[in-house]
Chains A and B, each alone.
Chain A
């Protein structure tokens, strides 16, 4: 079963409180529309490194809860990051993978060996024990309040349909051109 990405993110937005939310690529624009906040940070520009930047942040700020929203393509660019995250074991770290099995923004090319890819197994194999997968909105809606309070690191795979309808160069450009603003705003937030 799969879910619509926007519906997943609406559920997450509904349950969001004071978490710092770091987004990468395709989730950025939707998240900014669903949950605009000074606690958002959309500015990591290297595929696969949003989670490791977030890891550094979570170690530096154990008083904050850090949520990462990234795609499966990004994660696969940096699978070793799961080992690093498991070793550091930050208790305030929550990683959500939007798993649509493809590189959506470049035209829908599937990930390598996607028919056999099991991100849950890979995360568990890396040593992350709090691993979940959702393909059903009802179950996700039911579980997410509890998950966001659990001790991290928490790794969640969300089976989503491909959906390029929201992605446009203009929308991407709109968020990306504000990077200077986001950098400044987020740094100020961290000094609170």
Chain B
């Protein structure tokens, strides 16, 4: 994945969850692959991963591909996670059902969602309001992270992917 510097571009960061802390957690998990469609709330995280991490990034055009690729990677014995927005979850339902759940594979789904309060909510008050409901409907267990203090939940989610037959999600509320 390449990143082009855009003059005048200001990253969409929040002070709720630190990108550096998330990157460190992902490295502690010794992920082999991070599969992603870039999104504004984690653009800084992706740049950090590219520059500082040994994780391989697989960039996809659509998150449904990412679910299938994570499934194949996991089937082949690699540790993979998908990092995408809640919209990516929405467009991945068929792949989750027909690939991940059908093939009984487990990997981390890191779902970016704006927090319910503050600037991001004002920009788009509907942002992510269906994420938890959809995960429940798919019977996919999930954890929620709204601050750096809660990042340990990513590790708990990762632990649940061991010897499991379905993905485990973490909703990152930046």
- B-binding segment of A6-14, A81-89, A145-153: A81-89
Which B88-120 residues sit within 8 Å CB-CB of chain A?
Answer: 94-95, 97-99, 102-104
Q: Considering only CB atoms, which chain B residue lies closest to A179 in the complex?
A: B102
Find out whether the CB atom of B99 lies under 8 angstroms from the CB atom of A61. no
Of A43, A46, A55, A56, most B-chain CB atoms within 10 Å: A56
B65 contacts partner chain A, Cβ-Cβ < 8 Å? yes
Instruction: Decide if the interface of chain A is mainly helix, strand, loop or mixed.
Output: helix
Find out whether the CB atom of B104 lies under 8 angstroms from the CB atom of A52. no
What are the 4 tightest A-B residue pairs by CB atom distance, in nearest-first order?
A56-B72, A60-B76, A46-B98, A80-B61
Find out whether the CB atom of A81 lies under 8 angstroms from the CB atom of B61. yes
- Chain B proximity mask over A40-61: 1 for CB below 8 Å, otherwise 0: 0001111001001111111111
Chain B residues with CB under 8 A of A58: 72
B33 contacts partner chain A, Cβ-Cβ < 8 Å? yes
CA distance in complex: A191, B80 (Å)? 17
Find out whether the CB atom of A49 lies under 8 angstroms from the CB atom of B78. no
- Chain A proximity mask over B115-139: 1 for CB below 8 Å, otherwise 0: 0000000000000000000000000
Which B50-103 residues sit within 8 Å CB-CB of chain A?
Answer: 58-62, 64-65, 67-78, 80, 94-95, 97-99, 102-103
A43: which of B60, B61, B69, B103 is its contact (CB, 8 Å)? B103
Find out whether the CB atom of A53 lies under 8 angstroms from the CB atom of B68. yes
Find out whether the CB atom of B58 lies under 8 angstroms from the CB atom of A53. no
Chain A residues with CB under 8 A of B94: 46, 49
CA distance in complex: A54, B59 (Å)? 15
Find out whether the CB atom of A55 lies under 8 angstroms from the CB atom of B72. yes
CA distance in complex: A56, B60 (Å)? 11
A187 contacts partner chain B, Cβ-Cβ < 8 Å? yes
Q: B60 CB to closest chain A CB, in angstroms?
A: 5
Chain A residues with CB under 8 A of B61: 80-81, 83-84
A172 contacts partner chain B, Cβ-Cβ < 8 Å? no
Chain B residues with CB under 8 A of A80: 60-62, 65
CA distance in complex: A49, B98 (Å)? 9
B65: which of A61, A81, A191 is its contact (CB, 8 Å)? A81
B99: which of A53, A187, A190 is its contact (CB, 8 Å)? A53
Q: Considering only CB atoms, which chain A residue lies closest to B80 in the complex?
A: A56
Chain B residues with CB under 8 A of A191: 77
Given contacts A44-B68, A46-B97, A183-B104, contact A60 B78 (CB under 8 A): yes
Q: B28 CB to closest chain A CB, in angstroms?
A: 21
Find out whether the CB atom of B72 lies under 8 angstroms from the CB atom of A54. yes
Chain A residues with CB under 8 A of B64: 46, 49, 52, 78
Q: A43 CB to closest chain B CB, in angstroms?
A: 6
CA distance in complex: A81, B68 (Å)? 11
CA distance in complex: A118, B71 (Å)? 30
Q: A4 CB to closest chain B CB, in angstroms?
A: 29
Given contacts A49-B65, A61-B77, contact A88 B72 (CB under 8 A): no
CA distance in complex: A179, B71 (Å)? 16
Chain A residues with CB under 8 A of B98: 44-46, 49
Q: A83 CB to closest chain B CB, in angstroms?
A: 5
Q: A119 CB to closest chain B CB, in angstroms?
A: 17
CA distance in complex: A88, B58 (Å)? 7
Which A17-43 residues sit within 8 Å CB-CB of chain B?
Answer: 43
Chain A residues with CB under 8 A of B62: 78, 80
Q: B83 CB to closest chain A CB, in angstroms?
A: 15
Chain B residues with CB under 8 A of A44: 68, 98-99, 102-103
